[in-house]
Amino acid sequence: MIHAQRLTKSYPMEGRVLMALDNVSLHISEGEYAAIVGPSGSGKSTLMHILGCLDSPTSGRYRLHGRDVSALPSAELAKVRGEEIGFVFQGFQLIPRLTAIENVALPMVLQGMEAKERLIRAQSLLERVGLGDRLRHKPSQRSGGQQQRGAIARARARHPAVLRADEPTGSLDPASTGEVLALLDQLHREGRTVVVITHDAKVAARAGRQLQIRDGRLVGDA
């Protein structure tokens, strides 16, 4: 499903080259729940951007569902991303002026789904994350945990095969963290491939597999 071979990502920095990713190879099977863990600055987000088709590697090969996406032009990459991947971010990235239901329905516009169908589907996704009574609340009118649950509902709006979460609990209190982790567990049980990026050992422990990254290199896989 996710097959990365010798990925590198380098950035030119004041006359030298910073290797944010240094020869990372990994394979994540369909339906797996994997955590990418490592200290701040180790390259987790860089890796997630490449695996999430938000960016291309400097070198190496990345195949997603058997298709080589390492060197796709950005418009093509955006298409793959929209079809295959759902995202959950630390800062939720919900649109402030839209209600919960509008935020979840938004990605469905790109699928050409009709307005009525979008709202019905968005409502059902929100009910499944326990936000059935917060449909018309804007993000600022919901707690952090409720916002992140909304973001998870939105991430599922287009039936992605892979759900990718970058520090999804990074700005949540313990109770909300528990709720979000329970939802990720549920997505995994439903057969979704879940990749979570975290520097929190408790969050990582929920995944069946932990990939350790240090200074841009993969140093552990258990």
Residue ranges binding ligand ADP (CB under 6 A) = 11, 18, 20, 38, 40-46
Question: Which one-letter amino acid corresponds to residue 118?
Answer: R
H or E segment to which residue 16 belongs:
strand 16-28
Residue 99 interaction partner, one of Mg ion, ligand ADP, none, beta carbon < 5-8 Å per kind: none
Helices first, then strands: H and E counts in the chain: 7, 10
Nearer to ligand ADP, 11 or 182 (CB): 11
Residue 40 interaction partner, one of Mg ion, ligand ADP, none, beta carbon < 5-8 Å per kind: ligand ADP
45 near Mg ion, judged by CB under 5 A: yes
Are 49 and 124 a contacting pair, CB within 8 Å?
no
Nearer to ligand ADP, 43 or 168 (CB): 43
Residue showing the smallest CB distance to Mg ion in the complex: 45
Nearer to Mg ion, 84 or 166 (CB): 166
Nearer to ligand ADP, 50 or 69 (CB): 50
Residue 60 interaction partner, one of ligand ADP, Mg ion, none, beta carbon < 5-8 Å per kind: none
Residue carrying structure tokens 């995202």: 87
What phi and psi values does residue 100 have, to the nearest 5 degrees? -55, -50
CB of 51 to ligand ADP, least distance (A): 12
Cα distances from 28 to residues 33, 64, 167, 179, in angstroms, run 9, 10, 19, 25
Residue 106: other Cβ atoms inside 10 A:
16
Q: Interface with Mg ion by CB under 5 A: which residues?
A: 44-45
